[in-house]
Structure 1
Amino acid sequence: MKPKAKKAVKKKVTPKTKVRSKKYQEARKKVDRKRLYSLPEAIKLAQETSISKFNGSIEVHLVVKETGLKGGIKFPHPTGKQTKIAIANEALLKKIEQGKIDFDLLLATPAMMPKLTKYAKILGPKGLMPNPKAGTITDKPEETAKKMAGKTQFKTEVKAPLIHLVIGQVNSKPQELEANFKILIETVGINKINKAIITSTMGPGIKVDLTSI
């Protein structure tokens, strides 16, 4: 009898654990993970725990109750980031086909929508496909673009109830960051939010007590 061939044993691949820098670890020690901080405390701590060599952003990450939330916010103070708005035309369609997407919001006329459907698989996962509910399908895209230009657009991730938004810079005045944070919560709707976290670029997350605002 021929000896039975040994079955190849697949080696288990252990995922690599992300190693944080010493600067991050030191900054993380300043934050109590279990604590909910008042808004002024959270902003102060986010600025103090910034570890980037450049003037980073102050970001807010919201865990909301459903996907599909989107809208525009007119912040009372500069955030350091502007929403890039594009209007669908033949030239832009060629760029999209080449994978060149350098905009945050896309407007289109009803007549252009049949041509855009070809790129739904590209634009849809990024949340960029125009739709009537968001007001991004319009007969007057140029006028709509001007109205939206002063606003920062927000939206949940396509498959997760998460919203990520910049509300200012590390060197922004604390009271300006507070005002921007409050208008964000008011616009999204505090009753639609489960959790709010403030962080600086590359810094640790700080949980905010929404009852403190």
Structure 2
Amino acid sequence: MAKLGKRMKKAYEGLDRTALLAVEEAVKTLKGAASATKFDETVEISLNLGIDPRHADQQVRGAVQLPNGTGKSLRVAVFARGDKAEEAKAAGADFVGAEDLMEQVQGGMMDFDRCIASPDMMAIVGRLGKVLGPRGLMPNPKLGTVTPNVADAVAAAKGGEVQFRAEKAGIVHAGVGKASFTEDALIENIRAFVGAIAAAKPSGAKGTYVKRISVTSTMGPGLKVEPSSVLP
């Protein structure tokens, strides 16, 4: 651990962490520092938005398909019957069912990262609101997770779709790849994510919308990014 700390300290040596960096410089620095670790660190982004999510007209929520994926394999549960259930299985869903799947979840089975449902299943899924809701797993039409096209939703989740939602303080954060990605791939993912946030600007937002952006890796410090280097 001591050796790891020294290597990471050297990687960030001479860097002014209060300075605004172009996204290219920030990504290069993160990758250089992450090379000191023995595992593939996740690269994360955080945006501080000029909104108050407590107001209905200032909420930011949605999903974006990252062009280079997340580097993480999501486990997907799908509530569907008949042909829709077969389509979900063919698309790679990890768990598929109706009442039987509901009973498994009620019994404590939560081995999935994304929950999708066909519209006719919402009466069943609704009973799981107290279980799925607090974990951010409740299917939602606005996020494309309540849909008749369950196969497409499964493919999107498996292919690197990232969901986002502004927290109470107006902060949005998400994983946008792995340190093993090329610099170009990480930059493309970061710009795609920021672009989706920019496109989701709510009608009630006033003044500066994207106030601050920072990127970090699992073991690294946050680096401030110049918004103009990533905004559309």
Q: TM-score range by the shorter chain?
A: 0.7 to 0.9
Matched, 1:40 2:24: yes
Match 2:220 to one of 186, 193, 203: 203
Q: Deviations over 1:143-181 (max 9, x none)?
A: 443355434122226655333322222232212211111
State whether residues 30 and 216 of structure 2, in contact with CA within 8 Å, keep that contact through their aligned partners in structure 1: yes
Taking the aligned partners of 1:30 and 1:200, their CA distance within structure 2 comes to 18
Q: Which moved more, 1:146-155 or 1:118-127?
A: 146-155
Taking the aligned partners of 2:113 and 2:163, their CA distance within structure 1 comes to 10
State whether residues 71 and 177 of structure 2, in contact with CA within 8 Å, keep that contact through their aligned partners in structure 1: yes
Matched, 1:57 2:8: no
Instruction: Tell me the amino acid that sits aligned with residue 218 of structure 2.
Output: T
- Say if 1:26 and 1:110 are closer, same or farther in 2 by CA, change over 3 A: same
1:202 Cα deviation (Å)? 1.5
Equivalent pairs, count:
193
Matched, 1:133 2:142: yes
1:116 Cα deviation (Å)? 2.1
**Alignment RMSD (CA, Å):** 2.8
Residue in structure 2 matched with residue 16 of structure 1 by the alignment: none
Q: Deviations over 1:98-156 (max 9, x none)?
A: 33223232111333222222221221122211122223222342344335543412222
Taking the aligned partners of 1:209 and 1:22, their CA distance within structure 2 comes to 27
Q: Which runs of 5+ in 2 are unaligned?
A: 54-58, 80-97, 202-208
Taking the aligned partners of 1:105 and 1:159, their CA distance within structure 2 comes to 22
Q: Once the two structures are aligned, what percentage of the paired residues are identical?
A: 31
The structure whose Rg is larger is: 1
SS in 2 for 1:49: helix
Q: TM-score, normalised by structure 2?
A: 0.70
Q: Which moved more, 1:196-205 or 1:73-82?
A: 73-82
Q: Which runs of 5+ in 1 are unaligned?
A: 1-20
Residue in structure 2 matched with residue 179 of structure 1 by the alignment: 188
